[in-house]
């Protein structure tokens, strides 16, 4: 898989965590650097871990789905992308009321923002052989964007939050379409 595609997937998957980080920064201006680091580490870890769970699930059924794997990849990326776009238009006040300094809150937010990565993990298992480096890169990108998101939130608040998540959804849909078209046209 080309580096640009992996980068786009990583950035798109990071958008949920980035949006939560921006909201957290905007609503909790008293956050310290250690809180930002811990939140980014949680988000990065779960964004890297959940595709591994998806890989495990896909390995159990890979022989059965191989003839239609391109359709599955397209369907999952399209579905996740549409979900991200839909959620970008919903009001998000629940994360603003949570205390990100608490480990239990970080755990819940990390799982909630990485569910999409589980589905993408199933997709990645059929489109790349460099799976481990890809998921580590996704985790790293999520860490960096989440860390920056907190400080962006402190500075500019909620202005870009929904637009960024919608853009991430559009990127995933485009990548799914690219996978489908490459297979159908080859």
- DSSP state, residue 97: G
Task: Give the pLDDT confidence score for residue 30 in this predicted structure.
Answer: 74
User: By C-alpha distance, which of 86, 112, 114, 108 is closest to 14?
Assistant: 114
Task: Give the pLDDT confidence score for residue 40 in this predicted structure.
Answer: 96
For residue 56, what are the domain limits? 3-185
State the total domains in the chain: 1
- For residues 121-152, one letter each, b for 16 or more C-beta atoms within 10 angstroms of the residue's C-beta and e for the rest, the string is bbbbbbbbeebeebbebbbebbbebbbbbbeb
pLDDT by residue for the chain (186 residues), tens only, comes to 688 888 998 998 898 888 888 878 877 767 788 989 999 999 999 999 999 998 888 878 767 777 887 788 788 878 878 887 888 777 554 444 556 678 888 888 888 888 888 888 887 876 777 889 999 999 999 999 999 999 888 887 656 656 777 777 787 788 788 878 888 887
Gap between the Cα atoms of 105 and 115, Å rounded: 16
Task: Give the pLDDT confidence score for residue 96 in this predicted structure.
Answer: 46
| CB neighbour list of residue 4: distance below 8 Å, 6 or more residues apart | none
User: By C-alpha distance, which of 7, 3, 1, 8 is closest to 169?
Assistant: 8
Task: Give the pLDDT confidence score for residue 161 in this predicted structure.
Answer: 59
* Region label for 157, one of left (φ > 0), alpha (ψ between -120 and 50) or beta (otherwise): left
Q: How far is CA 106 from the centre of its chain?
A: 15
Q: At what angle do helices 103-127 and 33-65 cross, to 10 degrees?
A: 30
User: By C-alpha distance, which of 48, 45, 165, 47 is closest to 95?
Assistant: 165
Max CA distance (Å), the chain:
54
Task: Give the pLDDT confidence score for residue 95 in this predicted structure.
Answer: 47
- pLDDT digit string, tens, across residues 1-48: 688 888 998 998 898 888 888 878 877 767 788 989 999 999 999 999
For the chain, where are the alpha helices, taking DSSP H only? Answer: 3-27, 33-65, 69-88, 103-127, 131-156, 161-185
* Two structure tokens written together for 67: 């003839």
Task: Give the pLDDT confidence score for residue 42 in this predicted structure.
Answer: 97
């Amino acid at each position: 898989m080309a580096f640009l595609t992996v980068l786009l997937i990583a950035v798109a998957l990071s958008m949920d965590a980035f949006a939560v980080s921006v909201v957290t920064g905007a609503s909790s201006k008293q956050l310290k650097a250690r809180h930002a680091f811990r939140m980014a580490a949680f988000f990065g870890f779960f964004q890297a871990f959940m595709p591994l769970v998806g890989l495990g699930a896909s390995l159990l059924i890979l022989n059965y789905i191989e003839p239609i794997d391109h359709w599955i990849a397209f369907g999952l990326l399209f579905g996740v992308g549409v979900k991200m776009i839909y959620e970008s238009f919903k009001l998000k006040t629940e994360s603003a009321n949570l205390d990100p300094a608490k480990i239990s809150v970080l755990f819940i937010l990390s799982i909630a923002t990485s569910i999409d990565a589980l589905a993408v993990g199933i997709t990645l298992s059929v489109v790349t052989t460099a799976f481990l480096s890809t998921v580590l890169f996704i985790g790293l990108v999520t860490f960096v964007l989440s860390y920056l998101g907190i400080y962006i939130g402190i500075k500019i608040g909620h202005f870009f939050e929904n637009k960024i998540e919608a853009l991430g959804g559009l990127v995933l849909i485009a990548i799914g379409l690219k996978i489908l078209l490459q297979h159908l046209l080859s």
